[in-house]
Amino acid sequence: MCGRYGRFSRKQRIEEILGVSISGGDDLAVRYNVCPGTPDWIIKVPPEASSPRFEQYEWGLLPAWAKAPTATRRPINARADTVAEKPMFRDLLRQRRCAAPIDGYYEWRTTTSGKVPFFFYLKTREPFFLAGLWDCWHEGRPDEVASYVLMTTEPNELAATVHDRMPGMLHARDVARWLDPTVKDGDAVADLLAPYPAEEMESHPVSKRVSDPNNEGPELIELDDSVRELWR
């Protein structure tokens, strides 16, 4: 799954990696502990537009058909292997795809010392992108809620050492195809949700302080080797 991530690359760096200008997002703030239920920045290409833009949405999908914000569960993840079949997601896969720019994500490994968080990132230390879907409840009304959900897939060899799922990570070269609003067949982008190559990634254990959503700062991604069980 994917239940926490960090994004500390600035807008200019994200544009450099994608090779395209992105409108909006000029006040993109550094975040080391993005949690479900909070707003964050995603990239989307509106149906009426041809270029990407940053928009701030809540993490935790509130579908447009919900009777009220509290009337349905708000999933933070959608499984790549079943997303095309689920009523909550299948139409979004065809026409409301988005990407979350991040620098790394956290996952927890169960040990005899409790759950230990790990930080996963690219060896190049470059930002990358998580495949997502978005929706808008009461669109155009004062009580509008725009939200997103992140895709998950089978883990690669590195991710599998910690958890049995990993987020759907997109190479920068594939973001445009994932976001393309003219592609309305989910099968046409399904290949992009395969496990990201393990040889391009690294991970290390970090402080349990990241488990508290109120904690922020670069110290959250620093190596924490205090759990001896991990080094036996």
Please state, in angstroms and as integers, the Cα–Cα distance from residue 195 to each residue in 42, 65, 92, 158, 164, following that order: 21, 31, 21, 10, 12
Alpha helix segments (H runs only) across 77-226: 90-95, 175-179
Residue 108: HSE in the Cβ half-sphere, 13 Å Cα cutoff:
14
User: Is residue 98 flagged as an active site residue?
Assistant: no
Report DSSP state, residue 209.
G
Q: Mark 134-166 as b/e (b = at least 16 C-beta within 10 Å).
A: bbbbeeeeeeebbbbbbbbbebbebbeebbebb
Catalytic residue among 2, 35, 55, 58: 2
Which two structure tokens, joined as six digits, stand for 113?
Answer: 């010392």
User: Is residue 144 flagged as an active site residue?
Assistant: no
16, containing H or E segment:
helix 11-18
Residues 126 and 143: beta-carbon distance below 8 Å: no
Please state, in angstroms and as integers, the Cα–Cα distance from residue 231 to each residue in 157, 159, 204, 227, following that order: 18, 17, 11, 8
**Amino acid making up residue 228:** R
DSSP states of 6-55: EE---HHHHHHHHTS--BS-TT---EEEE-TTSEEEEEE--TT-SS-EEE
Catalytic residue among 35, 55, 58, 107: 107
- Residues recognised as catalytic: 2, 107
